[in-house]
Amino acid sequence: MILLLANIKQLLTFRGPSGPRAGRAQGEIGLVKNAAVLMKNGRVTAAGKEREVLRHPLAKKARVVEANGIVLPAFVDSHTHAVFAEPRLRDFSLRTQGVSYAGIRARGGGIISSVKAVRRQAPANMVSQLLERAERFLECGTATIEVKTGYGLDKKSELKMLEAVRAAASRTRLEMVPTLLAAHAVPPEFKGDSGKYLRYVLDEIVPAVVAGDLAQFADIFCERGYFTPEESRSYLNACLRRGLVPKIHAEQLSNYGGAWVGVKTGAVSADHLDYALPRDIRDLRRGGVVATLLPVSNFFLGLSRYPDARAFIAGCVPVALATDFNPGTAPCWNMQMVLSAACTHMKMTPEEALCAATINGAHALGAGDWTGTIEPGKQADLAVFDASDYRELCYYFGANLNKLTIKKGKTAYRKRDLIA
Ligand code: NIG
Ligand code: FE
């Protein structure tokens, strides 16, 4: 019950004012060298210089774990589509032949192919797939993820996805925050009639989701060929009236007005933002919306253009980073890969990127008051990495340096010794 994580070479606490970190504050990591963290009943009791933490009366009663590495708040991956039935390998092969995301959709791939697979999938299989994926997130140092629906697109299948999240969440230490993304695309039965489909979602799916308390957020793909800004605004407002907090896929493939809709509907985050303009950045700042950037999807799609993280930081918009884990644009659950892409392709500093992957990710889920930093009173969600300098987490790529993930004070993942 009482745990002392000792011998920490560098502890990144991200201690600071409440609220998401923007501008210069995005680069403040709260570094403590030669540190320790004391935890009791799932919460942090003390965190700081080891010699000071050891003086705490509870330290003598604690079980001691030697970190011998870097400790930071466990990653908060605030944007995933982690419930899906099959990888999209045909799409992948087509992409290697030069076919674009839009071109793949036109050839029967894309979101709708994932929908067909999810509709066929047995609920029990969906749960076991999600549990296997949960292990992979924990293994890479992530202890909280958001999970979107959006591959069901009818009442039965969207609820099946949310019920799978609920069932899996009760059997893993990974915390999963569910988001209804029924407005991901117009399913074939509605023959492109997006207005009619959104009415169906609001009349049939949303009430069932709310009655079952199955989701916390509502998201929509605001993009040409998917849902217009006007539709997105009235849909998200209707969801908000029913208690689902808005999030939005905005300005991913073109500048279309999604960021502004996010501001107008009080969205907690606007995500992707590849084509955001200076006015969008000003609006997001005024609206207090977190900009969630997903550079691994650009990497996987082989795009040369990345979201302009520097412009968001200069404009004092808090930036969060997430994987976007999904079968179409980001088959990646490792936040360390996201850190690499953010530093290399978006020129975020390691400090800014780590802040974006922890405390700002927590704020993108409205969870910044209890996770995302390491300080007394907060949930003990942290990860230990096999490194001597925190920048190694951004420097090595395609790697996993995590060796221990702790969620609510309990071991959620521990790397096995190579020699038994
Ligand atoms: O975040 N933009 C919409 N949704 C996903 C892609 C989903 C898919 O292709 O299956 C995204 O990139
Ligand atoms: Fe997404």
pLDDT per position as a tens digit, 223-252: 999 999 999 999 999 999 999 999 999 999
Collapsed DSSP state (helix, strand, coil) of residue 65: strand
Helices (H) and strands (E) in the chain — how many of each? 17, 15
pTM of the full structure: 0.98
**Longest Cα–Cα distance in the chain:** 68
> Ligand 1 in contact with 262 (CB < 6 A)?
no
- Model confidence pLDDT, tens digit, residues 102-122: 999 999 999 999 999 999 999
Collapsed DSSP state (helix, strand, coil) of residue 64: strand
Nearest 5°: phi and psi at 126?
-65, -40
> 271 near 248, Cβ under 8 Å?
yes
CATH 3.40.50.261 fits 2-74+371-414, yes or no: no
- Which residue from 79, 80, 81, 114 has its CB within 8 A of the most atoms of ligand 1, so it is best to mutate? 81
Average pLDDT, the chain: 97
Around Cβ 391, how many Cβ atoms within 10 Å? 18
The domain limits of the chain are 2-74+371-414, 76-363
State mean pLDDT over 286-292: 98
- Model confidence pLDDT, tens digit, residues 349-392: 999 999 999 999 999 999 999 999 999 999 999 999 999 999 99
Q: Which two tokens stand for residue 382?
A: 């942290």
- Which residue from 147, 184, 256 has its CB within 8 A of the most atoms of ligand 1, so it is best to mutate? 184
> Ligand 1 in contact with 296 (CB < 6 A)?
no
DSSP letter at 18?
S
Q: How far apart are CA 24 and CA 22, in angstroms?
A: 6
pLDDT of residue 419 exceeding 90:
no
- β-pair partners for 397: none
Q: How far apart are CA 72 and CA 372, in angstroms?
A: 9
- Model confidence pLDDT, tens digit, residues 140-181: 999 999 999 999 999 999 999 999 999 999 999 999 999 999
Closest CA to 189 of 160, 153, 235, 142: 153
Q: How far apart are CA 42 and CA 408, in angstroms?
A: 4
- Model confidence pLDDT, tens digit, residues 56-105: 999 999 999 999 999 999 999 999 999 999 999 999 999 999 999 899 99
> Ligand 1 in contact with 292 (CB < 6 A)?
no
Q: How far apart are CA 34 and CA 37, in angstroms?
A: 11
Collapsed DSSP state (helix, strand, coil) of residue 293: strand
pLDDT of residue 420 exceeding 80:
no
SS3 content of the chain, % helix, strand, coil (to 5): 40, 25, 35
Residue 316 CB-half CA count within 13 A: 7
> Ligand 1 in contact with 324 (CB < 6 A)?
yes
- The CATH code belonging to domain 76-363 is 3.20.20.140
Pairing state between β 245-250 and 217-220 = parallel
